[in-house]
Structures are given as C-alpha cells and as structure tokens.
Chain A
Amino acid sequence: MDSVFLRIRQVSKTYFSHGKPFKEALKKVSFDIQTGEVLGLLGVNGAGKTTLSSILASLHPPTSGDLLWGGQSIYKNLFQFRKKIGYCPQNPNVEKHFSLEENLITIGKCYGLSSERVKERVNILLQQFQLQPYAKANVSQLSGGYRQRFLIARALVHEPAFVILDEPTVGLDPHIRREMWEVIKGLHLQNVTVLLTTHYLDEAESLSDRVCLIHDGIIRTIDTPDNLKRYHQKNNLEEVFLKFVDDPTSAIFNSVSVEHDV
C-alpha cells in the first residue's frame, strides 16, 4: 500500500490583477504528504502557507502543476477527493444565519452521510468541542474562541482522511489551545493525515511528525523537528525557525530533505 497520501508536484500559483501577474505566491512546490502524518507548515506572513492550504483543499486551482492522489490528478476525481478532506480555514467562513447544529447537519449531509450518522457525528462533535450549550445558537452569536472550535468541528463532521488546519488555534485561550492539541493528537492516533499551518512553534514542535518551512513561495526544508534541531544545533523549533527567518535563502535551509520531482 502506498504510504504517500498526496503528492504535490511542481505546484505554482500566481495571482493576477487586471490581467497582469502581481504576486507569485507559490513557485514550483513539490513534496509528499505521508498517510497518517501530522505535517506542520511554517513560514512568515505572506510565505504562501494559506495559498498552499487552499490549493490542497481544492478551493483554488494551481496556476500550474498537479496534486496526485492514488497516482491520479485530484482534478480527475475531484468529488471523491473532496469527500476525504476536512478544511478549517484561517478566516471564519461560516454561514452566520444558521445555528451550529444546522450548519453541521447540512455539511454532513452534503458529504453523503445518512441522517442517523449525521446526528450521531454532530452530537459527538458538539460534545467534544463543548459546543452543546450553543447548538441552537446562530454562529454569529459565538465568541471568537467558540467560533474557532466550531470551524474545526465542521471540518471533522464527515470523518475525513485528510484534515487541513490553517492556524486553527489563533485567538484561543491557552487551555483551549491545549484541548485542540489533544484533538489533533486524537486524529493522529486514528491515522488521519493532518496539515497544520501555525505560527505557534511550540504547537508545531509538539504535534508535527515533520515540519515544512516555506518562504517566498518555495519549500526550503522538510524534516522532523528532532532532525532540524539536531542539524541546526538548537534546543527547540522556535530557535530553528528564528534562524530560518533571519536568512531563509541560506544554503543550510535549502539542502535538507526537500523531496524532488519524480
């Protein structure tokens, strides 16, 4: 069985304004995401993390390149691929005029879950994310932290095999953050593949099997947190990242374990 869940091949993304290219957000990005791993995606603001996440979630198409799932382009079997994905975006893109329960039920049904299974899943998630008291409340009535929890719950309704979490713990209280960590660890134990975009280095170090450093639309390094610390002789991932931020184009960051094109 193929241990690679998704192969990202030569993916580029250029944004256009008035028909002219104004930003090359991703530049021929190639790497593999292993089945069941938690892959941390780190980079400064504007590095290309959210662009990459949204392309992997099939929200936006790449300008060039392809994503291979089961040896085939995801675009050849898009709906099947989408059924395997749960996406928690950075911005709270919620249907505010509906209750949490209604939102979750509709999403579950859209992914083809039976009515009974949807109810079961919704109850589990509301309980897991301590959202039961707000089940009938409109999403617009939730505070930022609860809204964030709801976004993660929504991404998990249909039990996806691949979860993309784009800064899922931003704005959460420290103890809630820790609870979210437990959720991600739980997904890991269930062999769910996770792409975790975060600015919290402790979070990335604690949760990620591998860490991917991205800068200016280019993947500079992919390796385990331990290997990175050892290689750069640093005590923690934060120090490695600070070194990376100081000089992201340095050869030392561009020579480690980046997967090359097939």
Chain B
Amino acid sequence: MMFKSSFFVFLELLKRDLRGFWREYPNKLFDTGFMFFTNMIVFAYLMPKQGLDASYGVFLMFGAIASFGLIEIVGRVGVLLADIDGERAISQTMILPVSAKMVFCYIAIYWALTSMLLSVLLFPFGKLLLWDRFDLGQISFIRLIPIYLSANLFYGVFALWLTSILKGMEGLNTLWMRIINPIWMFGAYFYSWQASFKLSPIIAYASLINPMVYIMEGIRSAGLGQKGFLPYGACLAILWGFIILFGILATKRLKKRLDCV
C-alpha cells in the first residue's frame, strides 16, 4: 500500500518534470549537439592532420555520447542547490504521500532520463558527421543499451550525491574544478585504460577507483568491440556497484540535509 502510493506519486512527478523538460528540449539539444559537433570536427578532422590516428574521432565519439549527459545533469545540481538554499520547492514534494527515498529516486531517474534524451540523438548525429569512418553495424546493441542506461543512471545518483555534499551554490565552481574535471580527464575519455597501463600500471590501477573509466571502457567495448578495452561484464557490474553506493550515500546525506521524515 505504502509502496503503491509512493510509486504513484513518483510517476506523477516524473511525468510533470518530463513535460517541463520537453519545452526546453530543442534548446538543450542544440547546445549538446553543438558541443558534440565541435569535438568531432576537432578530433576527427583537424587533429588527424597533425598526425593523430584517423580512427580517433570514432573512439572519442563513444566517449562523448557516454558522457555529455553529465554536463546537463551537473547543471541541474546547481538548480537543486539553489532551491535548497532558497525557497525550497522540494519541501512541497517532501510532504506528499511518498517516501523520501522515492523522492530522491525520482530526481535521480529524471536526471538520468534528461541526460539520455540529450545524448541518444548523438548516435545518428555522429554517424552523419563521421559517415564512412563509422560503421553502425559494428555496434553490439545488446551490450550498448545496458551500459548506456546504467551510465546515465549513474550520472543521476552521482549528481544527487554531489548535491548532498556541496554546502551551497558557491561550491559549484569547486565541483567543476575538483571533481568533474579530474574524473573526466582521468576517466578514459581521451584515452583507453590500456593506454594508461602502458604509461604506468600504478596510474592505471589507481584510476580504477574512477567510475567514469568503467563507463568509457564499457561503452567503447560495446561500440567498437571488446579488444583493447576492459571486460564489458566487469565494467557493467562495477558500475552498478557505484550506482548502489552513491545512491545509498546520496539518500542518507540528503535526508539529513533536508531534515525530512
């Protein structure tokens, strides 16, 4: 009964927010597409003229698809933080017949969905940009769909956890510099884990604490084939470990921060 009530509210809130997101979707899609476009032009067309391998554009495209949604989600961290510090519209949600855990779950899933809705169209866009350099037939969709869904869900719970640890809006800058930037740069976005292993096994093993590594390696092994990347199954399993871990931490901290029942 309690779960049914909670789930019903969860769906209503999700429906409302997705309707709201739909209005801003074209604008946000343009922004994401534009950033993707600039990345592809530089790494697939300009950098090869400077000696970079011609296949690097395709390699980077999968990383971009896997991670650009995070930028959208981190923006939403700022919105939620501003609300918590300000008028607290979230408090209206917290008195609905729904458990606090379900509210946090709805926020994480809503964020994950927005991230997915923005990045999913980068697949056909990437094909258009890279055309004959990229064969859609090489993608294993059975592998790609689970890792893509899991990656975006991870961003949702991770962003929720970030919201719970930041003291306020002033922490947003620090968030970009100290958290998002290093996990992205050392998260196998520009290189494969194997490349870091060649440089230094210590660095490579140390980077395994970074969840982005599993997202990048997992999505590339689904899109470009297993060879040269960490095992797909391990990436998916470990990523789910991170989803559960950050989900639990975010719920505990936010519940305390919002002082809710």
Chain B residues, Cβ within 8 Å of A60 = 259-261
The reply to whether A85 and B95 contact each other, CB–CB distance below 8 Å, is yes
Chain A, Cβ-Cβ closest to B94: A59
The reply to whether B89 and A96 contact each other, CB–CB distance below 8 Å, is yes
The reply to whether A79 and B12 contact each other, CB–CB distance below 8 Å, is no
The reply to whether A94 and B89 contact each other, CB–CB distance below 8 Å, is yes
The reply to whether B19 and A102 contact each other, CB–CB distance below 8 Å, is yes
The answer to the question of A83 belonging to the interface, with a C-beta cut-off of 8 Å to chain B, is yes
The answer to the question of B9 belonging to the interface, with a C-beta cut-off of 8 Å to chain A, is yes
A36 to chain B, nearest CB (A): 22
B199 to chain A, nearest CB (A): 42
B109 to chain A, nearest CB (A): 16
The answer to the question of A181 belonging to the interface, with a C-beta cut-off of 8 Å to chain B, is no
Looking at chain B, what size class is its interface with the partner chain? 20 to 34
**Residue interface mask B1-39, A partner, CB < 8 A = 1:** 110011011001101100110000000000000000000
- Give chain A interface residues in 95-113, CB to chain B under 8 Å: 95-98, 102, 106-107, 109-112
The answer to the question of B52 belonging to the interface, with a C-beta cut-off of 8 Å to chain A, is no
The answer to the question of A75 belonging to the interface, with a C-beta cut-off of 8 Å to chain B, is yes
- Give chain B interface residues in 171-191, CB to chain A under 8 Å: none
Most chain B CB atoms below 10 A, which of A82, A89, A94: A82
Given A59-B260, A89-B91, check contact A110 B19 (CB 8 Å).
Answer: no
Report the bound CA distance from A93 to B91 in whole Å: 7
**Residue interface mask B195-211, A partner, CB < 8 A = 1:** 00000000000000000
The answer to the question of B96 belonging to the interface, with a C-beta cut-off of 8 Å to chain A, is yes
Chain A, Cβ-Cβ closest to B9: A110
The answer to the question of A58 belonging to the interface, with a C-beta cut-off of 8 Å to chain B, is yes
- Give chain A interface residues in 48-99, CB to chain B under 8 Å: 54, 57-61, 75, 78-80, 82-83, 85, 87, 89, 91-98
Given A60-B260, A94-B87, A94-B89, check contact A83 B97 (CB 8 Å).
Answer: yes
The reply to whether B95 and A110 contact each other, CB–CB distance below 8 Å, is no
Given A94-B87, A98-B20, check contact A75 B97 (CB 8 Å).
Answer: no
Residues on A facing B (Cβ under 8 Å): 54, 57-61, 75, 78-80, 82-83, 85, 87, 89, 91-98, 102, 106-107, 109-112, 154
Report the bound CA distance from A68 to B96 in whole Å: 19
The answer to the question of B49 belonging to the interface, with a C-beta cut-off of 8 Å to chain A, is no
Report the bound CA distance from A85 to B87 in whole Å: 21
Chain B residues, Cβ within 8 Å of A54 = 91
Report the bound CA distance from A93 to B248 in whole Å: 27
Chain B residues, Cβ within 8 Å of A94 = 87, 89, 92
Report the bound CA distance from A93 to B259 in whole Å: 16
- Give chain B interface residues in 143-184, CB to chain A under 8 Å: none
**Residue interface mask B223-261, A partner, CB < 8 A = 1:** 000000000000000000000000000000000000111
The reply to whether B12 and A110 contact each other, CB–CB distance below 8 Å, is yes
The reply to whether A82 and B12 contact each other, CB–CB distance below 8 Å, is no
26 contacts between A and B (CB under 8 A): A58-B261, A59-B91, A59-B260, A60-B260, A79-B1, A79-B5, A80-B97, A82-B95, A83-B97, A91-B87, A92-B87, A93-B88, A93-B91, A93-B92, A94-B87, A95-B16, A95-B89, A95-B92, A98-B16, A106-B12, A107-B96, A110-B9, A110-B98, A111-B96, A112-B5, A154-B92
Given A61-B259, A79-B2, check contact A110 B96 (CB 8 Å).
Answer: yes
Chain B, Cβ-Cβ closest to A108: B12
Chain A residues, Cβ within 8 Å of B98 = 79, 110
The reply to whether A102 and B87 contact each other, CB–CB distance below 8 Å, is no
Chain A residues, Cβ within 8 Å of B261 = 58-61, 75, 78
Chain B residues, Cβ within 8 Å of A110 = 8-9, 12-13, 96-98
Report the bound CA distance from A95 to B97 in whole Å: 18
Report the bound CA distance from A54 to B260 in whole Å: 10
Chain A residues, Cβ within 8 Å of B90 = 93
Chain A, Cβ-Cβ closest to B259: A60
Given A59-B260, A87-B95, check contact A93 B12 (CB 8 Å).
Answer: no
A163 to chain B, nearest CB (A): 13
